[in-house]
Chains A and B, each alone.
Chain A
Amino acid sequence: MYAKDGENYFIVDAHVALWDARPSNQLNIHGKQFIDCFYDYHRNLSPEAELWPYEDFLYYGGRRLMKDLFDDGHVDHAIFQPAHLGAFFDSGFGQAEEAFALAQQHPDRLTYNHCWDPRLEQKGIEQLRRDAARFGLKGAKLYTAEWHGDSRGYKLDDTWSYRYLEAARELGIKNIHIHKGPTIRPLDRDAFDVADVDKAASDFPELNFVVEHCGLPRLEDFCWIATQEPNVHAGLAVAMPFIHRRPRYFAQILGELLFWLDENRIQFSSDYALWTPRWLIERFVDFQIPEDMQGEYPPITVEQKKKILGLNAAALYDIPVPADLALAQPAGV
C-alpha cells in the first residue's frame, strides 16, 4: 500500500522476475548479450540513485526481491512472469523453482505464472497440465521470441499455439501475458507485429491478453487492436521508467493508452529487476500530464491511478483488495 496526500493506493506489480544470468548459468554468448541488453535498459532509464552494480543485476535472489518489492517498494502483491530462454541459460533465465517456492511461502504476496512453448507440441501440453495443477496457474507468460532448435520465434495464432490456448482455457489459466520481442519467423515480417494477438484475442474471448510494454515499439499497432478487442490489456513494463527521463514521452504513451483503450485495461508493472517499484510508484502517484499537453490529453485522475497501480490487475487475478482501498465502482471488467 502506498499513501500520499490522503489517498491510499493498493499496488499490484504485474510483472516481476527472479532471474539468474550469472556466467555460471550462461550457455553461450547470447546469454551474456541478453543480460547486457537488459542492463543497458536499466542503466539508461534509471535515476542515478537507483542504479545497481552489474554483479547484483546478474542475480539478486529471493531475499532481495522480497525487500525491494514489499519492504521498500510499497507493493501489496506481485506476479512472476518468467521467461525461460532455455537456448541461452542452463537452468533457464527465470528461476521457476526458486520463484515458485517463494510464492508458496508468501501466497498472499506472490502469484507464480509459468510459461510454455507451443513448439514442444503434445509433450508440452501434457507438461502444461501438470504445471497448471502444481503451480495453481491463473496466468502464463509467453515470450514469442524464444529460440527453440532452429526456430527463433513463434506466433500466437500458430496451430499449436491455439491448442495451448485451448488447454489454458480449459485449465482456468485466463490471463495470457505476451511479451513481443524481436525475431519472428519468417523474418520478412515486422518482428514486433501484434496482428497474431488480435487474431487470438478474437478467437479466445474468455481469455485476457495482456500485451507487455504495451506493444512498444509499436504502440500504434497495439492501440489499434486493443480498441477493437475488449479482452486485450496493456502492461506497462518498460513504459513506466520513461516517467523519469522522458516524462513528456511517458505522458504521451499514457495519454494514447487512455484514449484508445480505457482506464480498466492498463496495468502497472516495474519489470523488476529491470527497475525497482518504489521510485516508479512514487513518481507515478505524483505524475500529471504537463499543462501544455492537456489540450491533447486530459489530466489523469486519482481514480485512474488507483486502477492502473493495482485494482485492474487485482480484478484479473481475483486478488482480494481491502475494502478501504477499493473504489466505490469496482475496477476491471
Chain B
Amino acid sequence: MAAHAPAREKRATTLEERARQALAGVVDPELDEPITDLGFVRSVEADGDHRLTVHLRLPTSFCAPNFAYLMASDAKDVLTALPGVGAVTVLLDDHHDSDLINRGLATDAGYRGTFGAEAGNGLEELRLIFRRKAHAAAMERALSALLRQDPSLTEERLHDIVLGDLPSTEATSALLRRREALGLGTSPSDPVMVDDHGLPYQAGEIPLRLRFARSVRLSIDGNAHFCRALLRTRYPDAAQDQSPRQEDSTLVTPEKEHTP
C-alpha cells in the first residue's frame, strides 16, 4: 500500500479529488484495506453547489449488511467532514439491503435507526474483532519475514524480539499502524509477539500462537483476493479502479482469462 501513498498526498484541487482522498481513509474492516483500493467506490460526483454524490458497490448482493453499513456510514462521515462541502449523499448499489441502508444514510438514522430490531448495542465490538485480526495478521507478516531473513532465529526466540528489532519495511509500518489502532504500545522496546491486549506470550506458546496468527493472515489475504476478483466478475469496469493487494502469490493463471 506504500506504493500508493505518494498519489494520495498529491495536493487535491477539486472537491471530487478531495472526496476520493478522504474515501481512501475508509477501510473495509474485514479485508483491512481502503475501499478505494478495493474498487468499492463506483463514482464520485460534485455539482456546482458543492453537493457530493458517491456510489459504492460490493462484490455480491449478499455481502454482510453490517460491514456494508459500516463502510457506507464511514464514507458519509469522512465526506461530511470535508471543508466547504454541501449536502453529501452516499448510495450503496445493488445490495440486498440497499434500500434500507440508503434510507438510513439519507436520514442520518445511525446503525440502530437503520436496522431497528435487528441492531443490538452497536458495531464497535465488530470493529474491534477485526482490528484484532488485522493486528494478528500484520504481526505474523512481520515476524515470518524476520524468520525467513534469519534462518538461525527460532520461533521460541521470537519472544525476545522487540519492535526496534524489525527492519524498516512496509510490513513493519503496517504493524505499527495496527498496534496504534488497537491502542497497543509502539515504542522500540515493546515486544512484537503479543496477544490482542498487548501482553507477551510465554516462549513455549509462541509456535502455536504464531501458527494461529498465520491462519488469520491467510484468511484475510484469501478473502481480499477473492472479493477483488468477485467484484471484477460482477463489475468488469472495476478492474481499473483496483490497486493490487501487495504481492499476490496465490494467483497463477492470468485473471482476465476467466473473467467473462
Contact = CB atoms under 8 A, between A and B. Distances in A.
Nearest to A181: B62
Contact of A44 (B122, B230, B251): B230
A30 interface: yes
Interface string B193-207: 000000000000000
Contacts of A260: 215
A136 B125 CA distance: 43
Given A187-B65, A187-B119, A246-B251, A41 B230 contact: yes
Interface in B75-110: 94, 96
A48 interface: yes
Contacts of B66: 187-188, 191
A109 interface: no
Categorize the interface residue count of chain B.
Answer: 35 or more
B129 A188 contact: no
B212 A224 contact: yes
Interface stretch (A59-67, A249-257, A308-316): A249-257
Interface centre among B118, B129, B216, B229 (most CB of A within 10 A): B118
Nearest to B221: A249
Contacts of A192: 64
A220 B249 contact: no
Contact of B119 (A41, A188, A219): A188
A130 interface: no
B117 interface: yes
B211 A259 contact: yes
Contacts of A224: 212
A20 to B, nearest CB: 19
Contact of A219 (B30, B215, B249): B215
B96 A248 contact: no
Contact of A188 (B59, B126, B259): B126
B233 A43 contact: yes
Interface of A: 29-30, 33-34, 36-37, 40-41, 43-44, 46-48, 51, 150, 152, 181-183, 185-192, 216-220, 223-224, 244-249, 252-253, 256, 259-260
12 contacts: A36-B61, A37-B61, A40-B230, A44-B226, A44-B258, A181-B62, A187-B66, A188-B122, A191-B66, A217-B222, A223-B215, A249-B222
Interface of B: 30, 59-66, 69, 94, 96, 115, 117-123, 125-126, 129-130, 133, 211-212, 215-216, 218-219, 222-223, 225-226, 229-230, 233-234, 249-253, 257-260
